[in-house]
Amino acid sequence: MILIIDWLKAHLLTCPSKQFFHLDCPGCGLQRSIIALLEGDIVRSLQTYPATIPMLFTFAFTALHLKFGFRYGAAIIKWSFATTASIILIFYFYKLFTHKLF
C-alpha cells in the first residue's frame, strides 16, 4: 500500500486551470485529499477537499444500487449527488472569497 501511495504522490495530475490561468478550479485538492484518506488521515483529507468522502459514498452507493437495485436507491443517489455538489460549490466560493485560490 505504501508503494501505491508513493507512486500516486509522484504522479499527481496537473490542473489545467491552475497551470494556464493560475487559479484553482472547483476540483483542486481532490487528488491530495484521496492520498490523505489512503494514508488514514481523515482530518487532513477533509481539510484539503471536504467533498471527498461524500463523493466516494455517492460513487460506491451508485455502484451498489446498479448491482442490487435498492428500493429508494435513485432518490438517495439524487440527494447524495446534490449534497456533494453543494459541498464542492460552498468550499470553492469560500476559497474564492477568502482569497485562498492562489
For 52-95, write each residue's pLDDT tens digit. 999 999 999 999 999 999 999 999 999 999 999 999 999 999 98
**What is the DSSP annotation of 10-44?**
HTPPPPHHHHHHS---TTTTHHHHHHHHHTT-HHH
Q: Could you tell me what percent of the chain has a pLDDT over 70?
A: 97
Q: Is the pLDDT of residue 102 over 80?
A: no
Global confidence as pTM: 0.87
Q: Is the pLDDT of residue 13 over 80?
A: yes
